[in-house]
Amino acid sequence: MTPATPSPRPAYADPAAPADLVQDCRAATRELRLDTPAARLARAALRPAPSLAYDDQPREVRKPEIAVSAAAARLASAIYQD
């Protein structure tokens, strides 16, 4: 194994100023090509609003099913004994 080459500066030094940390985050966002909050907001503003018409709403909406395992049932019965 060869020792890793040291970086020019540590990733985050304890005495680093908040402005330096913000600058690092912005550089990482650019390099990773991540969306900025402003870009997400601009895309959301251009999307059409959802329809509020009655005919556009789903007719049947199923309730979510919650599975209770036997172990959870035993725990609940042990906690809430009447």
Q: In whole angstroms, give the CA distance from residue 82 to residue 79.
A: 9
Query: Structure pTM?
Result: 0.32
Average pLDDT over residues 36-40: 84
Measure the N-to-C terminal CA separation of the chain; round to a whole number of Å: 64
Q: Say which residue the tokens 């329809």 belong to.
A: 51
Mean pLDDT, residues 57-82: 86
- pLDDT value of residue 82: 65
Mean pLDDT of 25-51: 86
Amino acid (one-letter) located at 66: I
- Report the alpha-carbon distance of residue 17 to residue 54 in Å, rounded: 54
Q: Reply yes or no on whether the pLDDT at 2 is more than 60.
A: no
